[in-house]
A and B are shown apart, each in its own frame.
Chain A
């Protein structure tokens, strides 16, 4: 099973696709086979970030059963070992995939014979995005140092957190009073702490197991487009706060500086880390990639 790293973040324009493409390239250059899956359904453009024309095959063929195996829609990229799974040629209604399609795709992603799978998710907190984010045991939240982005990131984290708690309650044994709170027929919308309180009240001996399962998913936070005037300690503060107020683990994995030349690289349909390997921002991305795959900073690739 590959190591899956979903990349989300709530707000649009914070650089999710940029970070996904950059990290994918940096990890692939280490000799790992990397799948880059564009699940920004309905707003897909990861191929352009990678410098590719719209691929002829993609996730749409998998959904419509034109191809049997998910791996068949992978297209090579200019970076060796890095393959793109595009959704740009999907139908205009792709943003609203069916539950069965979602389950099928998640299962297929888990069975890909790749070392790493990076999933580029769309903005917002719709259920599909949340479920794809929860495909693995960790997920990367991309945020920028602006109130709007911080606000959406927290909303995204809270939505993922609540979804996770509901999943746990649905998938495991709990007393009917707890189960009923997450049942589809239930009209009242419970918050995460209300659900935990309910377990505490009606099924207290399940609390340790519940907390352990909530803790089984780790949030990684990356601050993108950092600027000089921004608080360099913001990420550490967010990590500290989240650790204090959620039962999930959190890790701030680094600042990535804003660089004017990212625009230039995108304009030339070239990867920033390829075009400007010596830039501070490229160095920071390498360090983040290293932390994500749990070893020392990635050195310059060929």
Chain B
């Protein structure tokens, strides 16, 4: 084949700067995963199964290492100790060029692909099925699904512009702090769409829960 990820750091593979926070890391991971996944049209038939598996394993290893603070610190130290990078690699001043790495895909695209894949997992499936089976929908149920999908609140904000506070209020059933119904419906609808659950069921169920719970 062609060039692989050989010789590239975890940061290079995911195309992120060493200062990337968890939501940037997750986004980058989903972006790159969406590109290399076997149902990605952009790489259709470009790689053999073997090559694709190797690339996906490298992507996964990079992500798992950088996701864990301890592993990430050890990895950074290894990069320094082996002379693969200079100390300035991790200083904020020098990260402009790395942070400027262009994103090739839109965030919502790769998140959509991610959720579609994760929805097949038993844990997510059980939670979603339970939610759809009932008339009432609680904030805790939505939160459990979001967490099972591995989505951060900050990611929801970046796509649907639902603030962290607002999301917390919804997920903790703090009805007194929720906005007017018309806005709440919009938030719930956007949120449900990201989680790929029927928005009408979520809106109706949540409003019913509110009516019964106060």
Query: Which A residues are in CB contact (< 8 Å) with B2?
Result: 158, 161, 192-193, 245-247
7 residue pairs, one from A and one from B, having the closest CB atoms: A237-B42, A151-B45, A245-B2, A240-B104, A154-B46, A150-B44, A245-B3
> Is B43 engaged at the interface, CB distance under 8 Å to the other chain?
yes
B102-118 interface bits toward A, Cβ cutoff 8 Å, 1 = contact, 0 = none: 00111001000000000
Number of A residues near B (Cβ < 8 Å) is: 23
Other than the given A234-B42, A237-B40, 10 more pairs (CB < 8 A) read A147-B45, A151-B45, A154-B45, A158-B2, A161-B2, A231-B42, A233-B106, A240-B35, A244-B3, A246-B3
Establish whether residues B35 and A237, one from each chain, have CB atoms under 8 Å apart when the complex forms. Answer: yes
- CB-contacts of A145-171 with B (<8 A): 145, 147, 150-151, 154-155, 158, 161
Establish whether residues A233 and B44, one from each chain, have CB atoms under 8 Å apart when the complex forms. Answer: no
Query: Which B residues are in CB contact (< 8 Å) with A238?
Result: 42
Query: Which B residues are in CB contact (< 8 Å) with A231?
Result: 41-42, 109
Establish whether residues A193 and B43, one from each chain, have CB atoms under 8 Å apart when the complex forms. Answer: no
> Is A236 engaged at the interface, CB distance under 8 Å to the other chain?
yes
CB distance from B177 to the nearest CB of A (A): 38
List 24 A–B pairs whose Cβ atoms lie within 8 Å, in order of A's numbering: A145-B41, A147-B44, A147-B45, A150-B41, A150-B44, A151-B45, A161-B2, A192-B2, A193-B1, A193-B2, A233-B106, A233-B109, A234-B42, A236-B104, A236-B105, A237-B35, A237-B105, A244-B3, A245-B1, A245-B3, A245-B46, A246-B2, A246-B3, A247-B3
Complex: chain A residue closest to B43, CB-CB: A241
A interface list, Cβ under 8 A from B: 145, 147, 150-151, 154-155, 158, 161, 191-193, 231, 233-234, 236-238, 240-241, 244-247
How far is A91 from B160 in the complex, measured between Cα atoms in Å?
A: 63
How far is A241 from B133 in the complex, measured between Cα atoms in Å?
A: 42
- CB-contacts of B1-54 with A (<8 A): 1-4, 35, 40-46
How far is A241 from B106 in the complex, measured between Cα atoms in Å?
A: 15
Establish whether residues B45 and A155, one from each chain, have CB atoms under 8 Å apart when the complex forms. Answer: yes
Query: Which A residues are in CB contact (< 8 Å) with B46?
Result: 154, 241, 245
CB distance from B191 to the nearest CB of A (A): 24
Query: Which B residues are in CB contact (< 8 Å) with A247?
Result: 2-3
Query: Which A residues are in CB contact (< 8 Å) with B105?
Result: 233, 236-237
How far is A240 from B110 in the complex, measured between Cα atoms in Å?
A: 15
Query: Which A residues are in CB contact (< 8 Å) with B45?
Result: 147, 150-151, 154-155
How far is A155 from B1 in the complex, measured between Cα atoms in Å?
A: 11
How far is A28 from B191 in the complex, measured between Cα atoms in Å?
A: 52
CB distance from A195 to the nearest CB of B (A): 11
Query: Which A residues are in CB contact (< 8 Å) with B42?
Result: 150, 231, 234, 237-238, 241
Query: Which B residues are in CB contact (< 8 Å) with A193?
Result: 1-3
Provided the pairs A192-B2, A241-B35 are in contact, do residues A151 and B44 lie with their beta carbons within 8 angstroms?
Answer: yes
Establish whether residues B41 and A233, one from each chain, have CB atoms under 8 Å apart when the complex forms. Answer: no
Establish whether residues B41 and A147, one from each chain, have CB atoms under 8 Å apart when the complex forms. Answer: yes
Establish whether residues A233 and B1, one from each chain, have CB atoms under 8 Å apart when the complex forms. Answer: no
How far is A163 from B3 in the complex, measured between Cα atoms in Å?
A: 17
Establish whether residues A234 and B1, one from each chain, have CB atoms under 8 Å apart when the complex forms. Answer: no
Query: Which B residues are in CB contact (< 8 Å) with A150?
Result: 41-42, 44-45
Establish whether residues B44 and A154, one from each chain, have CB atoms under 8 Å apart when the complex forms. Answer: yes
How far is A233 from B106 in the complex, measured between Cα atoms in Å?
A: 8
